[in-house]
């Protein structure tokens, strides 16, 4: 399977030597579930976009930008996503990618009244999907966002929710899946990122986020589910 990663942000220079860039994080995550996976990276933030048939599926990374910002690289990316949707090519949207798909295909995104979500957040899974396996009652992932999906696109179906972020994950048909959390993050990177943003977050949010890092995080489970999604179901083992 050949997966294209649509990169829409970069890890800060001072963290890259330790953690790599966002595509590196995703590649490590997904290759843990499927070592045969072939990955190509496209720097969509700097205008590098693939042909719609270049890969078997595509994943949109997170970004520090907001989907409603007037940025020159967003409209061409939306054009590509529209073409992928018409062709029913599989697409996964993570954090910013989740919001991007919602915002530009009939939903609504904006700052959350609750403020920043950082640290470990658990969502309840409210639908059965053929690419889920193992414990499907919920999923705990690291989060880092101040925007949320406020209204789903009309053709979307919710599958992940919690009280802080009610619209935390949705699907569109069998070709699109999104999640607000960050399965590519590891605990130490989340700790460093919160430390860098401590003043922005405020002491209460920062401390709550750091304290939450003692909880279990299920990155590998979501990595496996993403591979299952791109493959069209649970692999027989």
Query: In this structure, is residue 211 part of a structural domain?
Result: no
Q: What is the mean pLDDT of residues 101-119?
A: 96
In this prediction, what percent of the chain has a pLDDT beyond 70? 99
Query: In this structure, is residue 67 part of a structural domain?
Result: yes
Question: What is this structure's pTM?
Answer: 0.95
Over residues 166-178, the pLDDT tens digits come to 999 999 999 999 9
Token pair of 101 as six digits: 């798909």
Query: In this structure, is residue 191 part of a structural domain?
Result: no
Task: Please tell me the predicted confidence (pLDDT) of residue 237.
Answer: 44
Query: In this structure, is residue 214 part of a structural domain?
Result: no
Query: In this structure, is residue 195 part of a structural domain?
Result: no
Over residues 117-140, the pLDDT tens digits come to 999 999 999 999 999 999 999 999
Report, as residue numbers or ranges, the catalytic residues: 95, 182, 184
Over residues 198-223, the pLDDT tens digits come to 999 999 999 999 999 999 999 999 99
Q: CA 155, CA 225: separation in Å to the nearest integer? A: 22
Query: In this structure, is residue 109 part of a structural domain?
Result: yes
Query: In this structure, is residue 101 part of a structural domain?
Result: yes
Structural domain boundaries enclosing 177 = 2-115+146-185+219-231
CATH code for the domain of 86: 3.40.50.880
Cβ within 8 Å of residue 189, ≥6 positions away: 15, 18, 19, 25
Query: In this structure, is residue 198 part of a structural domain?
Result: no
Looking at the DSSP assignment, which residues form a beta bridge with residue 59?
A: 5, 92
**What is the total count of domains within the chain?**
1
Looking at the DSSP assignment, which residues form a beta bridge with residue 4?
A: 40, 58
């Amino acid at each position: 399977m050949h997966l294209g990663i649509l990169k829409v942000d970069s890890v800060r220079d001072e963290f890259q030597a330790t953690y790599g860039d966002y595509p590196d994080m995703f590649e490590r995550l997904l290759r843990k579930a499927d070592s045969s996976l072939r990955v190509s990276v496209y720097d969509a933030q700097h205008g590098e976009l693939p042909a719609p048939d270049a890969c078997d599926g595509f994943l949109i990374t997170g970004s520090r930008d907001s989907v409603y910002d007037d940025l020159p690289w967003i409209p061409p990316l939306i054009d590509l996503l529209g073409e992928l949707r018409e062709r029913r090519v599989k697409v996964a949207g993570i954090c910013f990618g989740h919001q991007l798909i919602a915002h530009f295909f009939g939903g609504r995104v904006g700052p959350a009244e609750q403020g920043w979500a950082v640290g470990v957040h658990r969502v309840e899974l409210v639908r059965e999907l053929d690419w889920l396996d193992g414990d499907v009652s919920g999923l705990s992932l690291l989060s880092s966002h101040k925007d949320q999906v406020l209204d789903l696109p009309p053709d979307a179906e919710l599958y992940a929710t919690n009280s802080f972020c009610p619209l935390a994950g949705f699907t569109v048909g069998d070709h699109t899946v999104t999640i607000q959390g960050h399965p590519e993050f590891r605990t130490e990177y989340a700790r460093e990122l919160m430390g860098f943003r401590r003043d922005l977050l405020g002491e209460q949010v920062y401390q709550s986020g750091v304290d939450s890092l003692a909880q279990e995080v299920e990155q590998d489970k979501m990595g496996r589910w993403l591979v299952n999604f791109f493959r069209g179901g649970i692999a027989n083992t």
